[in-house]
Amino acid sequence: MIEEELGGDHLNIRSEKIDKWIYCLLVIMGLTGCISDTFCRNIVRVIFILSIVRIGLSWRQVKLYSWEIYKPFAIVMGLFTLILLLSAAAGGHFSQGIMGNTFWYNFCNMFLLFIVGMCIHSKQQILRIVEAIMLSVFVSDLYMYWQIYQGMNRASGFFREDVLIMMGMIFSMILPISLIMILNKKDFTHHHKLYILVFTASFFGLLFNGTRGVWVALLIVLPCILLSYVKNKKRLIAVVLLLCALFSAVFVLVPRVHERVISVGDMQEQSHAERVRIWQGTLDMIKEHPVLGVGLGSFSDQYQHKYILGEAKERNISHAHNNFLQMLGENGIVGLLAFCGMFGYIFYWSWCNRRNVFAAMILAITSIFIIYGFVDYPYAVNGAMRLYWLMLALAIKAVSITEK
């Protein structure tokens, strides 16, 4: 009996060490998230392996605080994954579908919810990870300013120029997160100046990045955050005027931003006109494959060879530039319902727990994800979605600690 207890204590010590390693790796992932996507992918792999070792060492002691919180997430995510697998099999390209980046990386990153739930144990750890993410974004902001100074038309940060949407999506999350932290000074007493600095730097960074869909989504969500948290009308007006002044200064002084803003409502602009053509072709695809779609991972091949419009100028298209049409085209009505069910539940959960500041962050960034998803396919931006799943994991853990 004594030997069993000693053995159990020894395993617990090992598990605690692994928890610390995973926490440190999550901090490193936060610090490098805007600098090297490849490095972060490798960190996720190491975290995944360590979590398996952690479970193997003490599987009887593995606990997720407030399992009733995690269970619905496991159900909606599991159902969504099963339907995507069914779609991949029905489309006849099963291995191509499941090994594609969008499915595989989102599937792996979803497990961060349960890894964080198992290995992170305090709000202090959660806050340190979020602050690490903010530092990474700030470093990227500075590099983007340098890119604009060097004459780059749209700044992409440390990512390739052909994935400008990556930083755009990261800004779509970091701006509402930092704003909520600024407005909740009582909950975030330390490093308050850091949050203000990151918000300001990222505000300009997003303008230089030029992701217009994110601009529109933030234009809807940020005022809602201000209305929710700023009760003093004079203070609210002052904040709004300050943001307008900052935007106006960039709008007037930076011609590239001026041109980009003016083009937002121009439906004759090539990018907008081409999106409409892509959507029309995708609707034709949906009409012929309404239930399970053309199959997971088959959209690009099917669209380019069968459904692309004759007048389309951009011929090498890999997705529908719309979350919902992409799901319908690839996975049919069944896949769309599962996709909406998963993110619908995330929205519902965050709304119900919005008094918790971390849940409020998820409510904001999920709203932006849904709005932006009408004009692009952000679900396929793996680096940014990794940040989304990590923030969701941290929010669920924060709520479960509070309830505990």
Degrees to nearest 5, angle at CA 189 with 186 and 190: 165
Query: What local confidence, expressed as pLDDT, does residue 373 receive?
Result: 95
Q: Do residues 26 and 129 touch, judged by C-beta distance below 8 A? A: yes
Pick from 372, 374, 297, 371: which is nearest to 329 by CA?
297
| Separation CA 139–CA 203 (nearest Å) | 14
Query: What local confidence, expressed as pLDDT, does residue 7 receive?
Result: 46
Residue spans per domain, the chain: 2-267+318-403
Query: What local confidence, expressed as pLDDT, does residue 394 receive?
Result: 96
Q: How many CB atoms lie within 10 A of CB 261?
A: 17
Q: Do residues 350 and 395 touch, judged by C-beta distance below 8 A? A: yes
Pick from 366, 369, 356: which is nearest to 397 by CA?
356
Query: What local confidence, expressed as pLDDT, does residue 61 receive?
Result: 57
- Averaged pLDDT in 10-residue chunks for the chain of 404 residues: 44 80 96 92 93 77 68 94 89 76 84 91 94 96 93 88 86 96 84 90 92 92 89 77 79 72 71 86 92 88 85 78 94 95 97 95 97 94 94 94 74
Query: What local confidence, expressed as pLDDT, does residue 267 receive?
Result: 67
Give residue 175's identity as a one-letter amino acid code.
L
Query: What local confidence, expressed as pLDDT, does residue 239 receive?
Result: 77
Q: Do residues 108 and 48 touch, judged by C-beta distance below 8 A? A: yes
